[in-house]
Copies of this chain bind each other. A is one copy, B any other.
Amino acid sequence: MEEQFYTYQYPHPAITVDCIIFGFDGQSLKVMLIQRKSEPFAKMWALPGAFVDEAESLESCAERVLQKEGNISGVYLEQLFTFGLPSRDPRERVISVAYMGLVKTADFELIAGNDELQIEWRDISEIPDLAFDHSQILQTAIDRIRGKIRYQPIGFELMNAKFTIPQLQQLYEAILGKSLDRRNFRKKLLSMQILKQLSEKQQNVAHKAASYYEFDRERYEVLMKEGIYLELV
């Protein structure tokens, strides 16, 4: 490694971006965790993250993390919160800007990085103790996604382009951790007119085949511009 130093007149903390990547596999809500190779917290599970490069924006840094861990791009990302307690990293002062991402697990091919022993999707109901303050960061993210999915159609980011209404409902139930009434869920969803029904139907299922829909993003943008507030659950 090249020896180089950066000098400042005042102390500058280090900045990382840590990513909470939620994934849906059709059954339950997962989160991407890595197992650390090095100290501090070697062998512990943690959120994937990276130090912010000199010339990249915070969001670009989050995108870079996603590239690194699964060679994926173009996904939904939003800034969650910035964690900055002086003691949160034992090495030096490190401020972490957390980003939350939503993906379909099937789109990801998880690749453990150089400094990672393993990388896995973990069900959000079975999360081990995490390194640093990452348990707290993850809890903040879970609270955020639960609150947010009630009034913004972020759930579509976790579904394939075409999906059935019961599949979408399963996602909502996985995120909210409770079951919803089938009839009311469907009624409310269809009344928003943000779904386009496709002619295609499910195949090879041992019950009545559900029909596929896709998210009508254009229609959604129009509604948002009109300031219409979509409460989805």
Which A residues form the contact surface with B (CB < 8 A)?
A: 4-15, 51-58, 79, 81-82, 84-86, 93, 95, 97
Among the listed B11, B54, B57, B97, which residue makes an inter-chain contact with A11, where contact means beta carbons less than 8 Å apart? Answer: B54
Q: How many copies does the complex hold?
A: 2
Complex-state Cα separation, A4 to B84, whole angstroms: 24
Please name the residue on chain B nearest to A12 by beta carbon.
B12
User: What is the minimal beta-carbon distance from A219 to any residue of chain B, in angstroms?
Assistant: 22
Shortest CB distance A98–B (Å): 10
Given contacts A82-B58, A84-B52, contact A5 B9 (CB under 8 A): yes
A57–B86 CA distance with the chains assembled, in angstroms: 6
Which of B7, B54, B93, B97 is in CB contact (< 8 Å) with A86? B54
Report A134 CB to chain B, min CB distance, Å.
Answer: 18
Given contacts A12-B15, A15-B15, contact A58 B7 (CB under 8 A): no
Identity of the chain B residue whose Cβ is nearest the Cβ of A53 in the assembled complex: B11
Which of B12, B15, B54, B84 has a CB less than 8 Å from the CB of A58?
B84
How far apart are A177's CB and chain B's nearest CB, in angstroms?
A: 12
- Please name all residues of chain B whose beta carbon is closer than 8 Å to the beta carbon of A56 when the two chains form the complex: 86
Q: Looking at chain A's contact residues, is the secondary structure mostly helix, strand, loop, or mixed?
A: loop
Q: Across the interface, do B55 and A86 meet the contact criterion of CB distance under 8 Å?
A: yes
Please tell me if the beta carbons of B79 and A97 are within 8 angstroms of each other in the complex: no
**From B10, B14, B84, B93, contact of A51 by CB (8 A):** B10
* A97-B15 Cα distance, complex, nearest whole Å: 12
A13-B15, A79-B81, A84-B97 given; name 19 further pairs at CB < 8 Å.
Answer: A5-B9, A6-B7, A6-B11, A6-B12, A7-B7, A7-B8, A10-B51, A13-B52, A52-B95, A55-B86, A56-B86, A57-B85, A58-B82, A58-B95, A79-B82, A82-B82, A82-B97, A95-B95, A95-B97
